[in-house]
Amino acid sequence: LHKYIKPKDKILMVGCGNSKLSMDLYDVGIKQIVNIDISQVVIKQMIEMNKSQRPDMVFEKMDATAMLYENEEFSVVLDKGTLDALMTDETDDIKATVQKYFLEIDRVLRNGGRYICISLLQEHILKILLEYFPKNNFMFRIVRCFEAEQKTAETSEGAVMPVFLIVATKLQKLPLKVLEVCMGGETIRRCSGEEDVVESIVSAQKAALVFSGLQKGNIANSNEVKIELCQPNSIETRYTVYIVDQPPARGNKKYAAFIIPQGREVEWLFSTPEGRKKLLGSCGCNRLAIIALHRNQTYKSLDVVKEELEETVKNLAPLDMKEKILFMSLGNEIGQRSTVYKGESNLSGDFVVEDFEGNNGKAFRRLIFMSNPFVTQSEALLDSSGGNPDTTYLACQHHSFMSVGVNLLTQQKNQKKNYHVVVIGLGGGGLCTFLHKIFRNITITAVEIDEAMVKVAENYFSLKQDEKLKVVVEDGIEYLKRSAENGNHFDAILFDVDSKDLSLGMSCPPKKFVEEETLKAVQKLIGSSGLFILNLVCRNEELRNQVLEDVRKLFKICDYYKLSEDLNEIVYCQNNNLFADAKKRKSDWQTACKGLNKICKKTCLDYNDIVEVVEFMDDLKINS
């Protein structure tokens, strides 16, 4: 209040009741205060209470909707809960009363005077304030009062709702509406319109309800809670906080916070609900606040981040939490991330290529689509010498298992001199470049619908086209249909294409790629000797089962491997009678795994096994 009320102001406090607010103002030197209330009993009590210590303070019985004061008599009208009490609902009678109240406030305020209202700003109250003051030459500002909320939280057992200070400043004429909000700190944000104001207030109120619920309960049997945090008066997300609970257990810490270093937020442990549950368990907490940092934001240090987050993290703690909250991370640094290239594509939208520091100080490069910023589209290890992508390294784990399938094809007894492999979906080109590097007897055609991705792969991920590796810019489905109509034959077709529509619960591939017409084209193209490898990522169990059923209708042999951590599932499909015997096929898969590891060690120096053979064979589902 000290920013909007000065000692020289003449103040009218409407609906004073037995509030001590005007007394507190008087005691700090603001003496010209007139208090009114409709209750004669209240006025008598307040006169008696203040006559000796505050002799200059005036108390009068009066109706705030029909005041007897002169026009422009006051420089401040102060309302602590009176509007909230008047506006109990939106009936016509009550709206008419509130309209009379506002007209009286307007009349008794001087030019440059302020109507200051303290309110919880329920939806109907905010609506009527915005309908009157901005349209009647008042600058309109809403300030959130965090101190009032904190004091209430100390004594209240119920939900603590945000408290707001509305400051409507009367001017002679305003050419444009001035609407402002201050949701914390000193920065005032100018709003684009009434809807912008409403959105800011409703967002704060919803967050307060969530915070209050989290303080009072455990969500172990529910989904995690995700909260996006912006800096005061900014609309850009600075932090994403995931609240994960597990049933309280003896020996566990009640609560802690975990800060994900920059660049690591797309890893399975941090980017998926399943991973975050695992992190919660390994941290030994009943509740964990997992915090992701955002690109396009600057973070000075881990300590500065902790300082920024301290109040929010405290508000998410259980009510009985008395201990100091522990902040955890991977090491003592905030992590490094640098943007190499920002681009925009008509098909993929905004995207970014960025370098970051991973485990053991190794540097990596990632391609991220901003439509899904917590998912890695492509990734490459950067070599230590020149910072160029290492084309012998497979950063995406599912590519290793797709490569096993390619090796199964090339190790057949009746080996061909050359196998034609088609990869639908290029991304950064990591899979195609790897296959091209280690298999001398295959020719690769990569089909990519987005020309911008081809340029990214060539410029930032070391993709090089030659007679053994070609990229075709075309819709993958159209390419397959046209090739089938032309009577072409491919030895292997790999689907490694992502879906832009995540609403179905299937991230890879787009649903059209696994519809009957497309699958029949694949069946025709690989014939009785080829192999179809599908990278399937599907959270919707019903849809997943349907896809697998549709695939099995067209391919006699369907083996599949589910990655232990990622959602990826690699489905190997063929109609080759040579592989019909399940027992023999299992032996062939084992040979293919060992063979791939051997080729990699021969081709790439200091290469560990690309596939854990025992683990793969244990989890591979052989369709008999």
- Asked whether the beta carbons of 466 and 443 are under 8 A apart, the reply is no
Residue that finishes a domain, picked among 145, 172, 204? 204
* Domain membership flag for residue 493: yes
* Domain membership flag for residue 2: no
Q: CA-CA distance, 142 to 78, in Å (whole number)? A: 14
Q: Which of 603 and 537 is assigned the larger pLDDT?
A: 537
* Domain membership flag for residue 569: yes
Residue 297 and residue 271 in one domain = yes
- Asked whether the beta carbons of 181 and 197 are under 8 A apart, the reply is yes
Output the CA angle 450-454-460, nearest 5 degrees.
135
Residue 188 and residue 291 in one domain = no
Q: CA-CA distance, 115 to 2, in Å (whole number)? A: 14
Question: How confident is the model over 370-394, as pLDDT tens digits?
Answer: 888 878 889 999 987 767 898 888 8
For residue 624, the model assigns a pLDDT of 67
Residue 227 and residue 190 in one domain = no
Range from 157-166, 454-463, 588-597 carrying the lowest mean pLDDT: 157-166
**Averaged pLDDT, 407-434:** 89
**Averaged pLDDT, 85-97:** 94
Residue 238 and residue 267 in one domain = yes
The token pair that represents 566 in the structure block: 């990622």
The torsion angle over the Cα atoms of residues 364, 365, 371 and 373, rounded to 10 degrees, is 20
CA-closest candidate to residue 219, choices 311, 316, 293:
316
Domain count, the chain: 3
Residue 194 and residue 321 in one domain = no
Q: How many CA atoms lie within 13 A of 622 on its CB side?
A: 16
Domain hosting 292: range is 217-329
Question: How confident is the model over 242-298, as pLDDT tens digits?
Answer: 999 999 998 899 999 999 998 888 888 898 898 899 999 999 999 999 999 998 889
416 pLDDT band, cuts 50/70/90, is confident
For residue 25, the model assigns a pLDDT of 96
* Domain membership flag for residue 414: yes
Residue 221 and residue 269 in one domain = yes
For residue 213, the model assigns a pLDDT of 86
For residue 606, the model assigns a pLDDT of 55
For residue 603, the model assigns a pLDDT of 78
Residue that finishes a domain, picked among 285, 304, 329? 329
* Domain membership flag for residue 39: yes
> Is residue 204's pLDDT more than 80?
yes
Q: CA-CA distance, 371 to 367, in Å (whole number)? A: 12
142 pLDDT band, cuts 50/70/90, is very high
Residue that finishes a domain, picked among 275, 303, 329? 329
Residue 543 and residue 411 in one domain = yes
Residue 283 and residue 238 in one domain = yes
Q: CA-CA distance, 118 to 165, in Å (whole number)? A: 5
Q: What is the DSSP string of 477-496?
A: HHHHHHHHHTT---SEEEE-
At residue 583, the 3 state secondary structure works out as helix
156 pLDDT band, cuts 50/70/90, is low
Residue 193 and residue 222 in one domain = no
* Domain membership flag for residue 71: yes
Residue 192 and residue 227 in one domain = no
CA-closest candidate to residue 428, choices 374, 352, 479, 490:
352
Residue 457 and residue 494 in one domain = yes
> Is residue 155's pLDDT more than 70?
no
For residue 183, the model assigns a pLDDT of 83
Q: What is the CATH number of the domain that holds 105?
A: 3.40.50.150
Q: What is the pTM of this model?
A: 0.66
> Is residue 395's pLDDT more than 80?
yes
Q: What is the residue-averaged pLDDT of the chain?
A: 91
* Domain membership flag for residue 624: no
413 pLDDT band, cuts 50/70/90, is low
Q: Which residues are registered as beta bridge partners of 535?
A: 570
For residue 101, the model assigns a pLDDT of 97
Question: How confident is the model over 312-330, as pLDDT tens digits?
Answer: 898 899 888 888 899 999 8
Question: How confident is the model over 206-234, as pLDDT tens digits?
Answer: 988 888 888 888 899 889 999 999 886 67
For residue 79, the model assigns a pLDDT of 97
H-run or E-run covering 281: helix 273-283
First-to-last C-alpha distance (Å) of the chain: 77
> Is residue 605's pLDDT more than 70?
no
Q: CA-CA distance, 464 to 340, in Å (whole number)? A: 19
Q: How many residues does the chain have?
A: 624
Range from 154-168, 331-345, 445-459, 556-570 carrying the lowest mean pLDDT: 154-168
Q: How deeply is 232 buried, as exposed, middle or buried, from its count of CB atoms within 10 A (0-12, 13-18, 19+)?
A: middle
Residue 172 and residue 223 in one domain = no
* Domain membership flag for residue 199: yes
442 pLDDT band, cuts 50/70/90, is very high
Question: How confident is the model over 519-575, as pLDDT tens digits?
Answer: 999 999 999 999 999 999 988 889 999 999 999 999 999 999 999 777 899 999 999
